[in-house]
Amino acid sequence: MESSFDAAFQLTCGKQPLLISLPHDGTEIPPAIAARMQPWASAVADTDWHVGRFYQPLAQALGASLIRPRWSRYVIDLNRPADGKPLYPGRTETGLLPLVGFDGRALYLEGQQPDEAEQQGRVEAYWRPYHQALAAELTRLRQFHDRVLLWEGHSIRSVCPMFFEGTLSDFNLGTADGASASGQLLAKLCAELDQQDGYRWVANGRFKGGYITRQYGQPETGIHAVQMEMTQACYMDERPPFPWDAERAAPAQQVVAKLLEVALGWISESAG
């Protein structure tokens, strides 16, 4: 497997028909932007903590491609459309250039919020390179495979009142209500989750898939996209400083590894 590095992302290219995308894995904020933010924002609390550490060994074992950003979602949210249109009209969300954190507190100092010109600049500097690389890698994989799976790896704390009531299911699969991936593939993933009893799960519930799942998941062209939103309690301590918990992570990684194997099996069976 070959890895390439860019100022905005890291891409490891595999040979299997699988690309794992981790758009909220980044933790860095450029100094010029950080200087305009509230001091507490530097902790980037709303990161999809440790998803790179969670998925990297799975990608390596499977021979899958993996793309990870350098920059925090506080800089720009890679899982939102570049024009800033809402993903869930009528619902609370933080947007392309978040102005508040998941707790509702303002991220920027008074009068320091980015304007429209800055938004466009960040799209060009941080958003577009990631999406160009993601699209190019999907195109490369399609040259060798009839079908390719884009697996969107996400995580969130299990209780987040700003977005939902109560406690989230541990595993939340999303296929944009069936638009981004084959119903057969989703059925196989659900059947696999049914066979385990350690985690609660749901398909196309609160998390149906963000911009990347919806934009790139085009089953008619051979590209299927599935979003997996895990609760962070599955593999880490959700309290600051958000440490990784290897004992918790191991069984969760086993479940997700099996899901990826099932997906690759379906791709192999349905190809041709």
Q: What is the mean pLDDT of residues 230-238?
A: 98
Q: What is the pLDDT of residues 9-62, one digit of tens each?
A: 999 999 999 999 999 999 999 999 999 999 999 999 999 999 999 999 999 999
For residue 272, what pLDDT band results from cuts at 50, 70 and 90?
low
Q: How far apart are CA 194 and CA 186, in angstroms?
A: 12
Q: How far apart are CA 175 and CA 157, in angstroms?
A: 21
Q: What is the pLDDT of residues 171-181, one digit of tens each?
A: 999 999 999 99
* DSSP 8-state class, residue 73: T
Q: What is the mean pLDDT of residues 224-245?
A: 97
Residue of higher predicted confidence among 182 and 84: 182
Count other C-beta atoms under 10 Å from residue 102's C-beta.
16
Dihedral of the alpha carbons of 120, 122, 126, 129, in degrees to the nearest 10: 20
Dihedral of the alpha carbons of 94, 133, 82, 41, in degrees to the nearest 10: 30
What pLDDT sits at residue 2? 56
Model's pTM, two decimal places? 0.95
Structural domains in the chain plus CATH codes: 2-270 (3.40.630.40)
Q: What is the pLDDT of residues 94-131, one digit of tens each?
A: 889 999 999 999 999 999 999 999 999 999 999 999 99
Q: What is the mean pLDDT of residues 241-251?
A: 98
Q: Over 90: is that where the pLDDT of 3 sits?
A: no
What pLDDT sits at residue 152? 98
From 68, 71, 77, select the one nearest 4 (Cα to Cα).
Answer: 68
What pLDDT sits at residue 243? 98
**Helix axis angle, 246-270 relative to 51-62, nearest 10°?**
40
Residue 225 class from Cβ within 10 Å (0-12 exposed, 13-18 middle, 19+ buried)?
buried
C-beta of residue 132 within 8 angstroms of C-beta of residue 9:
no
What pLDDT sits at residue 164? 85
Q: What is the mean pLDDT of residues 217-242?
A: 97
The overall average pLDDT reported for the chain is 94
What pLDDT sits at residue 162? 80
What pLDDT sits at residue 4? 59
Q: What is the mean pLDDT of residues 235-240?
A: 96
Pairing of strands 201-203, 2-5: unpaired
